[in-house]
Structure 1
Amino acid sequence: MRQVWITKAGRPEVLQVKDAPDPAPVAGEVRIRVEASGVNFADILARLGIYPDLPGLPAVVGYEVAGRVDAVGPGVDAQWIGRDVFAATHFGGYSDVICAPQDQVFIRPADMSAEEGAALPVNYLTAWQLVVVMGALKPGETMLVHSAGGGVGIAATQIAKHLGARVIGVASQWKHAELERLGADWFIDARAEPLEARVKDITKGRGVELVLDPNAGSSFKRSFRMLAPTGRLGMFGVSSFVNAKERDLLNVLRALIATPLFQFMPMTLINANKGVFGVNLGRMWGETDRLRRWSTDLLALWNAGAIRPRIDKAFALEEAALAHHYLQDRKNLGKVLLKP
């Protein structure tokens, strides 16, 4: 098999393709010949050596794949062999062959491509947890999503529209036309417009019921201010920790210092009638039954035509460094993939 390794912390060029023997599935596992792997911002944090769950470098990262099962381990029905699937993987997804526990593998619907399958697990499970499970978004409510052109932003928008909610998408101007096609109701380029003033205008001074924020630092403070009474802030990333292609611990410290503390104290939340919660799908791997239920719900939305990942660009395994540059430079509108 061929895998992309993070050889050490650093720029995207530290990613290297290496060969290794094909793995054999153990009890309860299936082996997948990978046709597409998802690339996520967590992979960039791992490459920089600041991702908390990284098992240590060198390492192979990657949380989601799609392909075809070609072998099964003891205790797994042989009928899995030959099935087209997608899977959630706890590292190891930057590979052309991978073994995964059967409980984390799902049969792809006939109309779902491998690219779409690889774009589902991380982005759509994260969005489901943010919007439905913890965000409790209701019909008629308004959600603001930062990085609306990213994989989670698009997934959250589609889920929110299915629920009957309104969506304000924060993204660069050049992404607005496509975000409108994907379902967003209003668009704000926070680098060119006063974000809070625009939200106040759109909501007639009330604020929004749900904000999804992957930025961290001072962005969390601003997002909290934009909440209406009973509003919820869902935090799901720390992109402000990254301001360069190499690790910058001083910038991480600045972002941590800028993170609001007083606003999130119990008495402040009580008096404001607002809520704050965090989502890290990487810490949910032990919740197998719950993740399977969420995935089943998402497949029902797929079958209803309510969700469809937008694939932006696919890179070969040998181009993994280019994929990381592309994602880190915010050039994507939708999902970035690796394809063996």
Structure 2
Amino acid sequence: MKKVMITKAGGVDVLDVQDFPAPSPQRNEVVITTKACGINFADILARQGLYPDAPQLPTCVGYEFSGIVTQVGPSVDPSWKDKAVFGLTRFNGYADTICVPVDQIFEKPDSLTFEQAAAIPVNYLTAWQLLVVMGALTADDSVLIHNVGGGVGLAALEIAKHIGATTYGTASPGKHRFLVEKGLDHAIDYRSANWEDELKALTNGLGVELITDPIGGNHWRKSYRALRATGRLGMFGISAASDSSWQGKVKLLKTAVQMPFFHPVNLMNTNKAVFGVNMGRLWHENEKIRQWMMHIIDGVNEGWINPHVDCSFTFDQAAAAHQYIEDRKNKGKVVLTP
């Protein structure tokens, strides 16, 4: 079997396709021949040596995949064999063969390609947790989605539109037309404009009820200020720290220092809330994850969830795929195919 390995911390050139023995399933496991695997920003931070949850290098990262079940363990229902599935894996996702517990896979809806199915797990579960589970978004609310053109951003946009909320989103101007076509109510240019001022003008100075923010550092302070009374800030990343050079660790430290402290008294007096989301720390909550995924699969079958795959790269092109995301070129998901 082949894996895309991070050989050491560094730039995209540290990615290398290597051969390994094929896995065999244990009692409750299945083996999947991979058709596509999703790339997430956490993978890039891991390659840069900036992701604390990543295994020791050299390693193979990747949290999500789609493919065909080729082997089942002794305790697994044999009807899973030969089924098209998608699912979650705790690393080792950049591989042409994946072995995972059967409770981490889901049957692929016929309406989805394998690339689309691989785009679902991390992005849509993260967005579901941000907006529905912890963000408590309603049709009467408004939501600001930072980096709305990314994978989690587009997933959050679809969920917010289905709920009926008013949507605002920050993105580079080259993505605005695409995002409006996807249903975004108000696109905000975060590069050449002060998004705080623009959001204030669009909301008559009130702000919004929910903000999803993957940027980190001092940006969370700005997002908190932009909340309306009873507003909630969902934090789920630190993309501000991304850098492949030695400066990455400096940026990470600076980002950490700039993070705000939310005092309980201030939260009470302003009637605001803050919460954090990290899917990589929910492996012990498999029952919750399956419940959330069932809602997402229902959304696929009902037609209001349509994962957008920007492009796919082969394993040999993994470096180009990472660079494409780092350059903020993607609209939605980027996947790898063996």
Task: Please name the residue that 1:231 is paired with.
Answer: 231
**Do structure 1's residue 291 and structure 2's residue 289 form an aligned pair?**
yes
SS at match of 2:205: coil
Task: Please name the residue that 1:125 is paired with.
Answer: 125
**Do structure 1's residue 305 and structure 2's residue 318 form an aligned pair?**
no
Task: Please name the residue that 2:265 is paired with.
Answer: 267
How far did 1:252 drift? 1.1
Flag structure 1 segments of 5+ consecutive residues without an equivalent: none
Partner letter of residue 186 of structure 1? H
TM-score by length of 2: 0.98
The 8 Å contact of residues 63 and 90 in structure 1, kept in 2 or not, is answered as yes
Identity %: 49
The 8 Å contact of residues 48 and 244 in structure 2, kept in 1 or not, is answered as no
**Do structure 1's residue 196 and structure 2's residue 192 form an aligned pair?**
no
SS at match of 2:122: helix
Compared CA separation, residues 246 and 152, structure 1 to 2 (3 A): farther
How far did 1:313 drift? 1.0
Compared CA separation, residues 89 and 247, structure 1 to 2 (3 A): farther
Task: Please name the residue that 1:282 is paired with.
Answer: 280
How far did 1:140 drift? 2.1
Provide the C-alpha distance between the structure 1 equivalents of 2:137 and 2:71, rounded to a whole number of angstroms.
41
Provide the C-alpha distance between the structure 1 equivalents of 2:248 and 2:286, rounded to a whole number of angstroms.
35
Aligned residue among 329, 332, 335 for 2:330: 332
Provide the C-alpha distance between the structure 2 equivalents of 1:293 and 1:246, rounded to a whole number of angstroms.
41
Task: Please name the residue that 1:10 is paired with.
Answer: 10
Partner letter of residue 273 of structure 2? G
1:28-52 per-position Cα deviation (integer Å, ceiling 9, x unaligned)? 1111100000000000111111212
CA RMSD of aligned residues (A): 0.9
1:132-185 per-position Cα deviation (integer Å, ceiling 9, x unaligned)? 000000112100011000000000000011001011010000101111111110
How far did 1:98 drift? 0.4
Provide the C-alpha distance between the structure 2 equivalents of 1:118 and 1:245, rounded to a whole number of angstroms.
30
SS at match of 2:291: helix
Kindly tell me the number of residue pairs found equivalent between the two proteins.
338
Compared CA separation, residues 26 and 247, structure 1 to 2 (3 A): farther
Provide the C-alpha distance between the structure 1 equivalents of 2:226 and 2:25, rounded to a whole number of angstroms.
49
The 8 Å contact of residues 145 and 167 in structure 2, kept in 1 or not, is answered as yes
Provide the C-alpha distance between the structure 2 equivalents of 1:196 and 1:112, rounded to a whole number of angstroms.
37
Q: Which is further off, 50-59 or 135-144?
A: 50-59
Shift >4 Å, 4+ stretches: 244-247
SS at match of 1:201: helix
The 8 Å contact of residues 224 and 233 in structure 2, kept in 1 or not, is answered as yes
Q: Which is further off, 14-23 or 119-128?
A: 14-23
